[in-house]
């Protein structure tokens, strides 16, 4: 079956760096998405990776290794507003999105 | 900005009632989706549509139906609500198709409680 694994919850300190990992086993691969979802709000798009390597976008970076079935989202200079759930999703060979359960990130002062 | 609007943020219904969840997008997207989101589970696809009057079953279509009479509107229908359909329902739209993947734009969600 298809599977996306990410930690359920992580805690980090304001100003620090945190890495949220995502591992996947899917039928084919056509890209990996990261979304951010604040409590009670809609998910919003953060990044899309289809080739191996690191994509940087301001304080957020996303890394992909297709051979390892692995991605991470790196958040630098953490701010309180970064407290949210981070959703990993993979586009499989049928162009269907397979979603992880999400990682709840708690930022402490 | 792309806007996806869901008609109701919170609904409380009784078992057996018919429930309509409406979703409207204003960016002329071909693709629209209905998901449900439950704690500890990833988003699960109920139905999707790539064009007007077209619908495809997702992973968990049982107990649901959909309607897409106009490009901008995608409705989710629960013919006879049951307590296990208590959930957050998220509508999304995108320009994504084969060879041209794109991001999903989500509505704010409709939290349905079935008593």
B109 and A42 within 8 Å at the Cβ level: the answer is yes
B14 CB within 8 Å of a chain A CB: no
Q: By the 8 A CB rule, do A38 and A27 touch?
A: no
Helix (H, G, I), strand (E, B) or coil at B30: coil
A54 CB within 8 Å of a chain B CB: no
B73 DSSP β-pair partners: B24, B70
> What pLDDT digit, counting tens, does each position of A10-56 carry?
999 999 999 999 999 999 999 999 999 999 888 999 999 999 999 99
> Given the structure tokens 């071909």, which residue do they identify?
B30
Picking from B111, B113, B89, the residue whose alpha carbon sits closest to that of residue B23 is B89
Q: By the 8 A CB rule, do B13 and B115 touch?
A: yes
Per-residue tens of pLDDT for chain B, all 115 residues: 669 999 889 999 999 999 999 999 998 888 999 999 998 888 999 999 988 989 999 999 999 999 999 999 999 999 999 999 999 999 999 885 554 456 899 999 999 999 9
Cα B46–chain centre separation:
7
B46 CB within 8 Å of a chain A CB: no
Among B31, B92, B104, the residue to mutate for chain A (most A Cβ within 10 A) = B104
> Concatenated DSSP letters for A3-40?
EEE--SEEEEETTS-EEEEEEEE-SS-S-EEEEEE-TT
């Amino acid at each position: 079956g298809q599977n996306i694994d990410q930690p359920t919850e992580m805690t980090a300190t304001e100003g620090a760096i945190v890495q949220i990992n995502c591992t996947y086993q899917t039928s084919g691969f056509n890209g990996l998405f990261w979304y951010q979802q604040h409590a009670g709000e809609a998910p919003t798009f953060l990044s899309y990776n289809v080739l191996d390597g690191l994509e940087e976008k301001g304080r957020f970076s996303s890394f992909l290794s297709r051979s390892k079935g692995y991605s991470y989202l790196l958040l630098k200079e953490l701010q309180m507003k970064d407290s949210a759930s981070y959703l990993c999703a993979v586009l499989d060979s049928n162009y269907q999105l397979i979603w992880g359960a999400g990682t709840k990130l708690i930022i402490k002062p | 900005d792309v806007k996806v609007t869901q008609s109701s943020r919170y609904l409380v219904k009784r078992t057996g009632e018919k429930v309509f969840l409406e979703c409207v997008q204003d960016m002329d997207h071909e693709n629209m989706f209905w998901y449900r989101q439950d704690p500890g589970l990833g988003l699960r696809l109920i139905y999707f549509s790539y064009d007007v009057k077209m619908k495809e079953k997702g992973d968990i279509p049982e107990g649901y139906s959909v309607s897409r009479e106009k490009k901008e509107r995608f409705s989710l229908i629960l013919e006879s609500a049951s307590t296990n359909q208590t959930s957050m329902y998220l509508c999304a739209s995108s320009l994504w198709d084969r060879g041209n993947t794109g991001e999903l734009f989500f509505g704010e969600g409709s939290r349905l409680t079935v008593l």
